[in-house]
Amino acid sequence: MIHRLRPAMFFGCLALLATPLAGCDTSPRPPNDTGICYQYVTAAGGKAHFNVLQQNTKTLEACAGALEAMRLKFLGLGGNQTSITGAYQSKFIFVEQDGIFTADTLKGSAYLALVRTDDGRLAQPGAVRR
């Protein structure tokens, strides 16, 4: 007699197999503190550290703007770091020259949150026609 594995059983078994593997992930997790915008840095020895950049931050976009302002200030002081990583309410924020990206994990897939306009400002994707 041939038994067929129902889809619900298959995905349930798959979830059980994936759970132990998720426990092996040692990458840093962004803080989940409400309204606090962080800058993420890797200290000597590879230890992750989250510096409070701004409190009472209302949105991820506002945190991204604060990180962008910090990036521009560093560049204005003669720095050469063109990208900065931050965190806001359990999301990583990647401030790049191309725009602002966000992801759940440090090395996971990131999606575009804000794009740069022709004059360098930040806007929501689709708001600017090229």
Q: Is residue 46 domain-resident? A: yes
83-112 pLDDT, tens per residue? Answer: 999 999 999 999 998 889 999 999 889 998
Q: Chain centroid to CA 92: how far?
A: 2
Report the alpha-carbon distance of residue 54 to residue 121 in Å, rounded. 20
State pTM to two decimals: 0.75
What are the C-alpha distances in Å from 81 to residues 15, 35, 57?
A: 40, 26, 24
27-73 pLDDT, tens per residue? Answer: 889 999 999 999 999 888 888 899 999 999 999 999 999 999 999 99
| Domain span at 81 | 27-123
Q: Is residue 7 domain-resident? A: no
Looking at the 3D structure of the chain, how many domains does it have?
1
Report the alpha-carbon distance of residue 130 to residue 127 in Å, rounded. 10
For 55-129, list the strands marked E by DSSP.
Answer: 84-88, 91-95, 99-103, 111-116, 122-123
Residue 2 has pLDDT above 90, yes or no: no
